[in-house]
Amino acid sequence: MKFEHLLDELVSKRRKALDQGGPDKIQKQHEKGRLTARERIDRLLDKDSLFEFGMLACSDRPGMEEKTPADGIVTGFGMINGRQVGIIANDFTVLASSNSRVYSKKAKYIREQVVEKGLPLVWLGESGGGRLPDLQGARGIATLAGEGGSDRWIFSQYSHSRETPWTIGIMGPGNGVPMWQACLSDFVVQVKGSTLSVSGARALQKSIAATYTDEDMGGWKIHAEHTGITDKVAEDEEDCFRIIKTFLDYMPSNNTELPPRSSVSEGSGETMDSILDILPEKRTRAYNMYKIIRAVADIDSIFDLKESFGKTLITCLARIDGYVVGFVANQPMVNGGAMDTAALEKMMSFLCLCDSFNIPLIFLHDTPGFLVGREAELKKVGAKVTNALHALAQVSVPKISIIIRKSYGQASANMCGPGTGPDFVVSWPTGEAGFLDPEAAADVVYGALPDEERHNLTQEMLKDSSMYPLAQEYFIHDVIDPRQTRKYICNTLRLIRKSKTRGIGKHFLANWPTKF
Partner 1 sequence: MRIEIAAPMPGTVAEILVDIGDKVEIDDELVVIEAMKMEIPVCSTTKGTIYDIRVKLKDKIETDQVLVVLE
Residues that bind partner 1 (CB under 8 A): 282, 284-288, 291, 332-336, 338, 368, 437, 439-440
Residues comprising the chain, all counted: 516
Rounded CA-CA distance 128/218 in Å is: 13
CB 344 within 8 A of CB 387: yes
Question: Hey, which residues does 173 pair with through a beta bridge?
Answer: 195
Cα-based torsion angle of the residue sequence 79, 263, 398, 396 in order, rounded to the nearest 10 degrees: 10
Rounded CA-CA distance 377/449 in Å is: 30
CA neighbor of 110 nearest in space, from 73, 71, 143: 73
Question: Hey, which residues does 89 pair with through a beta bridge?
Answer: 74, 124
Smaller CB separation from partner 1, 284 or 511: 284
Rounded CA-CA distance 75/449 in Å is: 71
CB 38 within 8 A of CB 55: no
Smaller CB separation from partner 1, 55 or 286: 286
Query: Using the 8-state DSSP alphabet, how is residue 223 labeled?
Result: I
Query: How, if at all, do strands 323-330 and 313-320 pair?
Result: antiparallel
Rounded CA-CA distance 96/113 in Å is: 26
Rounded CA-CA distance 427/197 in Å is: 44
Rounded CA-CA distance 192/227 in Å is: 16
Smaller CB separation from partner 1, 55 or 436: 436
Burial of 184 (0-12, 13-18, 19+ CB in 10 A): buried
CB 328 within 8 A of CB 313: yes
CB 458 within 8 A of CB 446: yes
Smaller CB separation from partner 1, 335 or 466: 335
Question: Closest distance between partner 1 and the C-beta of residue 287, in Å?
Answer: 8
Q: 234 — phi, psi (to 5°)?
A: -105, 140
Question: Closest distance between partner 1 and the C-beta of residue 409, in Å?
Answer: 15
Smaller CB separation from partner 1, 299 or 440: 440
> Per the omega criterion (within 30 degrees of 0), is the bond before 133 cis?
yes
* Residue 341 CB coordination number (10 Å): 23
Burial of 58 (0-12, 13-18, 19+ CB in 10 A): buried
